[in-house]
């Protein structure tokens, strides 16, 4: 099966009332971990690469690894998504490389740090929508600013500093025609999200529910959704790591979001924690080892386990065989009949 559009995956998820994890990658082992978790659980998948990841892995390597994934796992609907594109140029280069979905994060200026104006956000996002939809590629936009920094991208704010305004979200969607909308409801990128266990009030779920009520047909995206499990933190610290006490987003809050329009859930930190813990364990217990496979294999397995668990929790498990891919050319024809109100 060729790479499929994010729009098709999320439309199907909305029909089925489930969410789909979007997992970040930088290398072969991470792609393999995600694809193997998808096969084991029968899940459609979203594999996403940030600008930092594209620079680290090199676009051509990344793209060919993803082509290999579609050959080895032909039964799995797979999306290749640009995470946090900082400019129309970044999104254009991703589309030209073969990504089937892009995020234009116009909530920040092109430096990826400075919060932007609403007008700027609309302008750059609409530009990307026009360019992407002409090729059948999906677009995710962002309104409000997520907390933290990921791969150098982010204003480094507290997750509660720039929450999404529901009315602005409606206007943004109407003016840009985005397929999916990332909203800020108190989550932030990275391991250090909360310094005490979050209560039902810590995350602004009432705001999320209000946004869904005003935009019932828009696929909502929750960034910064790692749960930062205590057992993964403990493994790292037991084998010489120095993580400070921290709490992530409880899976039950994500499940509440899924009941209220959240279709894409971004997870990176949990994979990083799983791999690092497994590698530290091998280094501590077998200091005589020097074959990279001796630690990369357990690292890949640890990541696969946490991802398979999330796939079951988000509800995407068992849905890989529900549909056939719609070619991007057909998606482009569908978009050509849509009008964007400005």
Give the number of other Cβ atoms within 10 Å of residue 36's Cβ: 18
φ and ψ of 286, to 5 deg: -130, 65
Tokens 């779920």 — which residue? 205
Smallest separation, CB 48 to ligand 13P (Å) = 7
List the x/- string, 133-152, binding to ligand 13P by CB under 6 A: -----------------x--
Residues 165-194 that bind ligand 13P (CB under 6 A): 189-190
Strand runs (DSSP E) across the chain, as ranges? 20-24, 45-49, 78-85, 101-104, 138-143, 180-183, 219-222, 262-267
Does 155 participate in binding ligand 13P (rule CB under 6 A)?
Answer: no
Does 5 participate in binding ligand 13P (rule CB under 6 A)?
Answer: no
Q: Which residue of 5, 82, 86, 225 would you call a contact of ligand 13P, by CB under 6 A?
A: 225
Smallest separation, CB 178 to ligand 13P (Å) = 16
Smallest separation, CB 254 to ligand 13P (Å) = 11
φ and ψ of 175, to 5 deg: -85, -20
Q: Which residue of 12, 36, 83, 142 would you call a contact of ligand 13P, by CB under 6 A?
A: 83
Nearer to ligand 13P, 41 or 226 (CB): 226
Annotated active-site residue in 11, 59, 83, 167: 83
- 3-class DSSP state of 47: strand
Tell me if residue 83 is catalytic: yes
Nearer to ligand 13P, 215 or 274 (CB): 274
Separation CA 248–CA 333 (nearest Å):
41
Residues 254-313 that bind ligand 13P (CB under 6 A): 266-269
């Amino acid at each position: 099966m060729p790479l499929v559009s994010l729009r098709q995956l999320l439309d199907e998820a909305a029909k089925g009332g489930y969410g789909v994890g979007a997992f970040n990658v930088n290398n072969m082992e991470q792609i393999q971990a995600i694809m193997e978790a998808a096969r084991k659980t029968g899940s459609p998948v979203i594999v996403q690469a940030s600008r930092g990841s594209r620079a680290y892995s090199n676009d051509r390597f990344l793209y060919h690894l993803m082509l290999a994934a579609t050959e080895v796992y032909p039964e799995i609907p797979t999306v290749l998504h640009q995470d946090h594109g900082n400019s129309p140029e970044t999104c254009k280069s991703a589309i030209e490389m073969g990504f089937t979905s892009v995020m234009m994060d116009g909530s920040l200026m092109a430096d990826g740090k400075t919060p932007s104006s609403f007008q700027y956000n609309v302008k750059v996002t609409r530009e990307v929508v026009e360019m992407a939809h002409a090729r059948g590629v999906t677009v995710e936009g962002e309104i409000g600013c997520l907390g933290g920094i990921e791969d150098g991208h982010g204003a480094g704010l507290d997750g509660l500093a720039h929450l999404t305004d529901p009315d602005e979200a409606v206007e943004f969607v109407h003016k840009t025609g985005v397929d999916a909308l990332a909203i800020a409801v108190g989550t932030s990128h990275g391991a250090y999200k909360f310094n005490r266990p979050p209560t039902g009030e810590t995350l602004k779920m009432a705001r999320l529910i209000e946004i869904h009520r005003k935009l019932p047909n828009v696929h909502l995206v929750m960034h910064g959704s790692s749960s930062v499990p205590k057992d993964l933190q403990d493994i790292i610290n037991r084998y010489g790591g120095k993580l400070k006490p921290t709490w992530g987003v409880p899976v039950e809050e994500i499940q509440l979001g899924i009941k209220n329009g959240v279709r894409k859930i971004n997870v990176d930190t949990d994979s990083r924690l799983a791999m690092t813990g497994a590698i530290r364990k091998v280094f501590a217990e077998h200091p005589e080892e020097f074959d990279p496979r001796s630690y990369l294999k357990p690292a890949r397995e640890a990541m696969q386990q946490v991802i398979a668990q999330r796939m079951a929790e988000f509800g995407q498990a068992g849905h890989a065989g529900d549909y056939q891919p719609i070619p991007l050319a057909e998606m482009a024809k569908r978009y050509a009949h849509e009008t964007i109100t400005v």
